Amino acid sequence: MKYAIMMNFKLKKTLILFAVFSISFIGNAQDKKEAISQNSVDYSAYKADKVEMDKKIDSLLSVMTLTEKLGQLNLPSSGDITTGQSKSSDVAKKIEEGKIGGLFNIKSVEKIKEVQTIAVEKSRLKIPLIFGMDVIHGYETTFPIPLGLSTSWDMAMIEKTARIAAKEASADGINWTFSPMVDISRDPRWGRVSEGGGEDAYLGGEIGKAMVRGYQQDDLSRNNTLLACVKHFALYGAAEAGRDYNTVDMSRISMYNDYFPPYKAAIDAGVGTVMASFNEVDGIPATGNKWLLTDVLRTQWGFDGFLVTDYTGINEMIDHGMGDIQTVSALALNAGVDMDMVGEGFVTTLKKSLDEGKVSIQKIDASVRRILEAKYELGLFEDPYRYCDEERAKTEIFTKEHRAFAREVAAQSMVLLKNENNLLPIKKSGTIAVIGPLANTNENMAGTWSVATPQDKSITVLQGIKDGVGNLGSILYAKGSNLSYDKGFEERATMFGKEIPRDGRSDQELLKEALDIASKADVIIAAIGESAEMSGESSSRTDISIPKAQRDLLQALVKTGKPVVLVLFNGRPLVLTEENETVPAILDVWFPGTEAGNAIADVLFGDVNPSAKITATFPRSVGQIPIYYSHKNTGRPLGNSEGKFEKFRSNYIDERNEPLYPFGYGLSYTTFSYENLKLSTTKLNENETLEVSVTVKNTGNYDGKEVVQLYTRDLVGSITRPVKELKGFQKIFLKKGESKTVTFKLTVEDLKFYNYDLDFVAEPGDFEVFVGTNSNKTLKSKFELVK
């Protein structure tokens, strides 16, 4: 989508603040909004709006008591309260007393309007509340988990998913989402890898920008937008051992080059809020880290929105060893935190800290101001009920159009990992056996963090295949196995309403039924892998293979000699070495969302040609972790590409170095050739642009899409540099037999990095440039950057 202006936070306010509100809650906003052309920026209007906003907030600050100020910094969780309950609840009393600035986890227009009424009609200053929710990959219409969505490499489509999520959530009263999560992770043991965009900083940044644009659009005061929140700042995805909430310890060079860029991209895109992470950074928890939250975020990057903690993030600094609740609350405020999620350390201790000189009223006022600015920009002072339109709630949520798009997105996010002898696509005829514990479970189609999803309305694999075949063939079904042999593990893996009822029959009985059905089939669809809650928050795993009960089922099915297609559910890269060797076809569907079964059927039957490519490396063995494409060389690199062991070289005695599936990998039902890699020049000067072109041809028998990927390597630097870095990509469509010349443009800006002194520089010298179908299969050329 193109906008009249770039959405950096300063210029965003020009569009957001079209309306000039009076000091009261009622103004002549609409007339002024209509008077301003959306194709030009009226800077006088911007200045006037900024003046009016400042006047409004100055007026409030001048009359607010300390209790009311601290209340604005307080974000408790209400739970999804029952209608009518709010009037007599403890939450209602606190709202009336001005002790709450917002709520989260409350859903529906009726409930939110009831609570908002207390704030704007019964509290002394009538300051509206802000309402947040974890709208992570859709609202009621649910799209693939973010890791799956990232494999589409389609930024326009990703932006549209966020726009639809904003439309639905805002129609239900929500105006703030805790998304996007842009944490880079190179350790698939970490469960929350499912919520991010993979391992690459550049791609992660592009996805983050697309999500922010989708949620906030070009005018936050419109009632179909959401205030976005980039998280978790910072480095949360680099937890040691892949164990959630664990210590993070890395150099600042790695921070700036490999982990910070997606956060900064979201800031540059105008994201309104930032969430601090749980982990420590340089020995200080992020929630209390002034260098991180003020020096980097505000001073270096210019962020001027408000910063919220994660759930009880302030209180958790006590266990980190940073002091008691008063100490850590003061630490967080002084570091740059504005809003305390759930912990209530601010409302219970900051008055005492102020009296003792441990915090200043200027700090408190600055935080209050930022929160009031967000509410102003959302239009809540003009109309606190702008998100409480019951007609919208009836007509804009879980619509037929939204579900149709969700089906399209899910199909575009499925990665074909293997397709031996072109087993896929299969025909809509004959007898198809659908087998596996994930074949017929509505509750596990949407994946983790699907808090608003009507799980019972999600389409299962079995239902999707039945609908796809209709009366053209016969569909047989068997569960085949439980999720795991271990009942306790299965209980931990199916929490939060994501149950897969455990079958009371013995493992042998389940397997026998599956094999009997398989014997009658022409082809077997094995729906196995992780359940929805095997990934996500607090779902770290030391063994990232498919649970053994399902592996045993799969291998038994393979031994029947019938064609087997593995439909893989997962929220992380898995170790699939055995499966890759034995199963003819593997389709990674992640957790596809509410239209899961229909989208899976679309791909299996060839109505959609898969085009997704993985954004996180799949290891051959868990012992290779962390593993990622943009690693650095050692002084003793392996001297061969066949995986042969070499003593006194950087390799393993029991495993190859390379991954099972490299970053950017994904197959299609067609094939593509790359040739004629050309550079417009072999010497790039500082003010010039290097054009890199390649001819891509569809050489197969199907029309299809291909993600063309551009990488560079800085061969000599003042610090060691990665062996490859993604610098661009284009998703193109080619009819069978069609060719296209794809051109990329590189400038000096694309070659910059943070050096030892953390200066952002491009250093003259030789570079390699690669273009290809994945990070490991490319054409290569060379150029020189000259002064």
List Cα–Cα distances, 588 to 282, 413, 570, 624, in angstroms: 37, 9, 8, 21
CA distance 262 to 549: 38
- Decide if 490 contacts 503 (C-beta within 8 A): no
Provide the pLDDT for residue 85.
53
- Catalytic amino acids? 310
Query: Distance between CA 120 and CA 122 in Å, rounded?
Result: 6
Sequence-ordered list of residues with C-beta below 8 angstroms from that of 351, at least 6 positions apart, any chain: 66, 67, 70
Q: How far from 77 is each of 1, 81, 89, 314, 514, CA to CA, in Å? A: 35, 10, 13, 15, 46
For β-strands 739-746 and 690-698, DSSP reports them as antiparallel
Query: Quick one: angle between helices 9-16 and 43-63, nearest 10?
Result: 90
Burial string for 564-578 (b: 16+ CB within 10 Å, else e) reads bbbbbbbbbbbbbee
Question: How far is residue 122's CA from residue 140's CA, in Å, rounded to a whole number?
Answer: 32
Peptide bond into 232 cis (omega under 30): yes
Predicted TM-score of the model (pTM): 0.93
Amino acid sitting at position 148: G
Checking DSSP bridges between strand 725-734 and strand 704-714, what pairing results, if any?
A: antiparallel
Helix, coil or strand: residue 718: coil
Q: Output the furthest CA–CA distance in the chain (Å, rounded).
A: 79
Angle at 235 between CA 233 and CA 238, to 5 degrees: 150
What pLDDT score does 646 carry?
95
Nearest CA among 562, 573, 676 for reference residue 617: 573
The DSSP line for 459-527 is PPHHHHHHHHHTTSEEEEEE--S-S-S-HHHHHHTS-TT---PPP-S-HHHHHHHHHHHHHT-SEEEEE
**Neighbouring C-alpha atoms within 13 Å toward the C-beta of 416:** 26
- Compute the distance between CA of residue 547 and CA of residue 570 in angstroms, rounded to an integer: 11
Asked whether 398 and 171 are in contact (CB, 8 A), the reply is: no
Strand intervals (E) in 70-171:
74-75, 102-104, 130-133
Give residue 86's pLDDT.
Answer: 52
C-alpha–C-alpha distance, residues 313 and 481, integer Å: 40
What pLDDT score was predicted for residue 221? 87
β-pairing, 415-419 vs 585-588, is antiparallel
The pLDDT value given to residue 87: 54
Q: How far is CA 674 from CA 210, 590, 665, 776, 777, in A?
A: 29, 29, 15, 14, 10
Q: Tell me the two tokens of residue 410.
A: 């899910």
Q: pLDDT below 50 — which residues of the chain?
A: 1-48, 83
Strands 704-714 and 765-774: antiparallel
